[in-house]
């Protein structure tokens, strides 16, 4: 069972879907009708690939990477909504407080697990 009330869950879901749609729309406008735009948006190619980067002249690669990471986080949160795990910490399984999700709707960990995750050294991968 989801720890959030139906009203809370509905409001957070609407916010996530709206934010995802707005960001994808902004990226489509910024990238234009490039053949690789859809692939960038769905995550099948990366702007870090030199062959892809060459096809993005004038595009700020850091901003694009940040926006695509945000899009992946939104996609992940929407997948958790769909499978019923949204609102549960992926680290320990406890309910993530509504206030945390209201402030950070893509949160996938409770605050203690997130803090522990951020203290650990990472090996080239960002989560």
Query: Does 114 have pLDDT greater than 70?
Result: yes
Note the pLDDT of residue 34.
Answer: 75
Average pLDDT, the chain: 90
List the domains of the chain with CATH numbers: 6-119 (1.20.120.910)
The model's pTM is: 0.85
pLDDT at position 127: 45
The 3-class secondary structure across the chain, one letter per residue, is CCCCCHHHHHHHHHHHHHHHHHHHHHHHHHHCCCCCHHHHHHCCCCCCCHHHHCCCCCCCHHHHHHHHHHHHHHHHHHHHHHHCCCCECCCCCCECCHHHHHHCCCCCCCHHHHHHHHHCCCCCCCC
């Amino acid at each position: 069972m989801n720890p959030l009330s139906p009203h809370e869950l509905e409001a957070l879901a609407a916010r996530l879907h709206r934010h995802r749609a707005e960001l994808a729309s902004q990226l489509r406008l910024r990238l234009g009708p490039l053949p690789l735009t859809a692939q960038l948006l769905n995550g099948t190619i990366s702007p870090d690939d030199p062959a892809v980067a060459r096809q993005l002249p004038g595009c700020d690669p850091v901003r694009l990477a940040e926006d695509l990471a945000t899009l992946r986080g939104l996609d992940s949160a929407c997948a958790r909504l769909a499978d019923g795990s949204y609102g549960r910490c992926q680290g320990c399984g406890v309910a993530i407080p509504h206030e945390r999700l209201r402030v950070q709707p893509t949160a996938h960990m409770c605050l203690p697990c997130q803090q522990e995750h951020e203290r650990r050294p990472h090996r080239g991968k960002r989560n």
